[in-house]
Chains A and B, each alone.
Chain A
Amino acid sequence: MTERAGSLSSRPKTLIDKIWDAHVIVDREDGQSLLWVDRHLLHEGSFHAFDQLARRQARLHRPDLTFGIADHYVPTRNRDTLAPEIKRMVDQLSDHCASHDVTLFGLDDPRQGIVHVTIPAQGLTLPGNIMVCGDSHTSTHGAFGAYAFGIGASEVAHVMMTQTIWQKRPRAMRVTVEGLLPEGTSAKDIALHLIATIGADGAQGHAIEYAGSTIRALSMEGRMTLCNLSIEAGARLGLIAPDDTTFAFLRGKPFAPKDEAFEAAVRAWRSLRSDDHAGFDREVTIDAGSLAPTLTWGTTPEQALPITATTPDPATILDAARARSISDALDYMGLEPNQRLDSISIDRVFIGSCTNSRIEDLRAAAAILSGQRAKVPGLVSPGSTAVKLQAEAEGLDRIFTGAGLEWVDAGCSMCVGMNGDLVPAGERCASTTNRNFKGRQGPGSRTHLMSPAMVAAAALTGRLTDVRTLARGTRP
């Protein structure tokens, strides 16, 4: 930190450095910097911070840079008749936003959706922005070259009152992915492979920049999936240098700059890339061509393997703590050592969450399900009301319902189960979400994380399935 803080402007800088340096208000001797925050996103869970504000009798400082979104607790069905405790959470957010003049994308707003889906689609996520939200998957917005990270309630209260945040400059990690993604793989598989390789704490204390030809070829949806999962590798955030794909996505979006202001912004944004020869504290490289459809078998995202693999055997693991973790995870998941992953039966599927609920994700799942019947029940929750309407315009909803899956409204839904969308105890769910923690989808639930295409494949066979074997048989 001290080494870099004193660096000359001529020294090559990473993208992380460039955004950081543009936001520093004060550098303290102890290594903490006070940073300006361009966007602050609130949701129903932000009530703890509003309570802190009330205790100090303070006002929210910059409502023009603050947006409220109802997503964590919102029902995905029957929105006309809310359960009392859900209604209390949704109303509480509305009341707090109203009393502090914060723009709210509430339950009935056409812009409603999961914060990390709807905010980028509104053009509120811009390259070079610093963005925070009381949600760890705020790293999603890094897909646009924004420096975006999740914070706790005390920090949310601090940002509400000052529009700034104290941070220590993170170490920089570059993850370079080169080559063409093989058939049946996507950004989700890159992320799960990375987490399995470096561990769920592998990037602690780091900000990740994703680079390489594979990353440049990803759509904005794919980039958001990848940056979203950075937190599951322990990183503070993940980001990608903005390019023509980014600018094309942002052009014409409601809150993005307009006309000449947009062209001027693009000229400025083009400098938001790591300089040649910029130094990274850690480098990881991935050969995209070596990837296979990947999924989790255990209770942490690092317990991920290609679908062609078998579950690990704790008896062959020398490290005692690791053997204990594997054994405990197998037990919780109801699995045996050395079991073929593609032999594991599932009870239901879920397609949704801030990781994989965008239009491209729904298209990928629908392409597998088209004209077929699922063997298990399941829920499809689009990431926003806008994504829902788009999918319906494309007829994707009829593919899902025709397959026997339920097509519902937008929200965090079964990823975290706060709204009552739960996987029953003991049931096994193939899920496009981000966390396979014990009980994450409901007490006793068993979660396998994978891509939308892999979830669709599992739905068709009723077991974990290599989408590539289906693709040959059933896809046009």
Chain B
Amino acid sequence: MTPLIVLEAGACPLPLDNVDTDQLIPARFMKRPRSDGYGQFLLHDLRQDAANPACALDQDRFKGCQILIAGRNFGCGSSREAAVYALADFGFRCVIASSFGDIFASNAVKNGVLPALVSPEQAEVLLAHQGIAQGEPLHVVLPDQQIRFGNHSVDFSIDPVWKTQLLNGWDDIDMTVSYASEIARFNQSDAIARPWAHPSRSAAQ
């Protein structure tokens, strides 16, 4: 995973609440291997409706933007990591929103995408800002948990564990493997504490 420390990039406003992962990538596109690239499917169906704010993704001034700004409950719904693949493959490294679906936020971090949590008021300010709408870049500074633009700055929240993982580009699996002896010890004591916990195969078909 590529570390993320400071991001200076354009930000695309998506003034919508409850953007669920079915919107981020409709289910019918998820049969493909990741190597095909998922970026083209990002917000696919919303972008078919010319009146939908998601069409901003197709505007020239947001070309190459790496930050998405949305309302509350971004990424709610299905656990599909393909929603993050679509964002990442489109080029996004950061989503700013006033709340996130728990599973989405976790998936985002695992793919090096920063879920930056701001207050509902701050989200409205960012969504309504003229400069941002014109394509002015934002500076997202993860060590300081700050979003800077023009003369403004907005603080954001992020789980400290996720922050460390993003800053270092750490991978969970390597870390877990280093605990192999602890896992083995747990298994020994757990077998005594919870003998019923395993599937019983004795009368299984």
Q: Which residues of A contact B (CB under 8 A)?
A: 22, 25-26, 30-32, 34, 36, 38-39, 45, 47-48, 51, 56, 64-65, 73, 85, 88-89, 110-111, 123-124, 126, 128-129, 134-136, 150-155, 157-158, 161-164, 166, 168, 199-201, 204-205, 231, 234, 236, 254-258, 261-262, 264-265, 268-269, 299-300, 302, 320-322, 324-325, 328, 416-418, 435, 437-440, 443
Residues of B within 8 A of A324 (CB): 15, 17
Residues of B within 8 A of A439 (CB): 22-23, 26, 45
Given A111-B205, A128-B197, A136-B78, check contact A321 B172 (CB 8 Å): no
- Chain B binding surface SS class: loop
Check B76 against A200 for contact (C-beta < 8 Å): yes
Check B205 against A321 for contact (C-beta < 8 Å): no
Residues of B within 8 A of A111 (CB): 205
Check B186 against A65 for contact (C-beta < 8 Å): no
The count of chain B contact residues (Cβ–Cβ below 8 Å) is 66
Nearest B residue to A35 via CB reads B186
Please name the 3 residue pairs, one residue from A and one from B, whose CB atoms are nearest each other, closest first.
A265-B196, A152-B107, A152-B81
Check B15 against A201 for contact (C-beta < 8 Å): no
Residues of A within 8 A of B143 (CB): none
Check B72 against A254 for contact (C-beta < 8 Å): no
Nearest B residue to A303 via CB reads B18
A416 to chain B, nearest CB (A): 5
Check A300 against B172 for contact (C-beta < 8 Å): no
Given A124-B199, A234-B102, A258-B202, check contact A154 B182 (CB 8 Å): no
Check B110 against A152 for contact (C-beta < 8 Å): yes
Choose from A150, A166, A201 the contact partner of B172 (Cβ within 8 Å). Answer: A166
B152 within 8 A of A: no
Known contacts A64-B198, A88-B31, then 6 further A-B pairs from the complex at CB < 8 Å, ordered by chain A residue = A134-B79, A154-B172, A157-B173, A261-B196, A325-B18, A417-B27
Residues of B within 8 A of A157 (CB): 173
A106 to B171, CA, bound (A): 33
Given A30-B161, A89-B31, check contact A36 B110 (CB 8 Å): no
B71 within 8 A of A: yes
Nearest B residue to A72 via CB reads B27
Nearest A residue to B83 via CB reads A152
Which one, B55-63, B132-140, B187-195, is touching chain A? B187-195
A200 to B77, CA, bound (A): 9
> Which of A26, A154, A262, A322 has most B Cβ within 10 Å?
A154
Check B190 against A36 for contact (C-beta < 8 Å): yes
B37 to chain A, nearest CB (A): 14
Pairs across A and B, CB under 8 Å, 21 listed: A25-B183, A26-B179, A47-B33, A48-B82, A51-B34, A73-B31, A152-B81, A154-B81, A157-B173, A254-B205, A258-B200, A261-B200, A262-B196, A264-B196, A322-B17, A324-B17, A325-B18, A416-B27, A438-B46, A439-B22, A443-B45
A325 to B172, CA, bound (A): 37
A98 to B110, CA, bound (A): 28
Check A234 against B199 for contact (C-beta < 8 Å): no
A205 to B99, CA, bound (A): 10
Given A126-B196, A255-B199, A443-B45, check contact A152 B103 (CB 8 Å): yes
Check A256 against B22 for contact (C-beta < 8 Å): no
A302 to chain B, nearest CB (A): 8
Check B102 against A438 for contact (C-beta < 8 Å): no
Given A34-B179, A135-B79, A200-B76, check contact A154 B161 (CB 8 Å): no
B23 to chain A, nearest CB (A): 6
Nearest A residue to B74 via CB reads A201
Check A264 against B198 for contact (C-beta < 8 Å): no
Residues of A within 8 A of B194 (CB): 22, 128, 268
The interface bits of chain B over 84-101 (1 if a CB of A lies within 8 angstroms of the residue's CB, else 0) are 100000000000000111
A110 to B17, CA, bound (A): 42
A110 to B190, CA, bound (A): 33
A164 to B173, CA, bound (A): 10
Check B22 against A205 for contact (C-beta < 8 Å): no
A81 to B203, CA, bound (A): 33
Residues of B within 8 A of A417 (CB): 27-28
Residues of A within 8 A of B204 (CB): 254-255
Check B200 against A256 for contact (C-beta < 8 Å): yes
Check A164 against B200 for contact (C-beta < 8 Å): no
B148 within 8 A of A: no
B64 within 8 A of A: no
> Which of B17, B23, B190, B195 has most A Cβ within 10 Å?
B17
Residues of A within 8 A of B103 (CB): 136, 150-152
Check B172 against A158 for contact (C-beta < 8 Å): yes
B66 within 8 A of A: no
Residues of A within 8 A of B197 (CB): 38, 126, 128-129
B160 within 8 A of A: yes
Check B196 against A26 for contact (C-beta < 8 Å): no
A45 to B124, CA, bound (A): 36
Given A162-B173, A261-B195, A443-B45, check contact A85 B31 (CB 8 Å): yes
Residues of A within 8 A of B161 (CB): 30-32, 168
A15 to chain B, nearest CB (A): 15
Nearest B residue to A58 via CB reads B173
B36 to chain A, nearest CB (A): 12
Nearest B residue to A302 via CB reads B18
Choose from B77, B120, B198 the contact partner of A437 (Cβ within 8 Å). Answer: B77
A36 to B183, CA, bound (A): 8
Residues of B within 8 A of A440 (CB): 22
B79 to chain A, nearest CB (A): 4
B22 to chain A, nearest CB (A): 4
Check A438 against B23 for contact (C-beta < 8 Å): yes
B119 within 8 A of A: no
Nearest A residue to B33 via CB reads A51
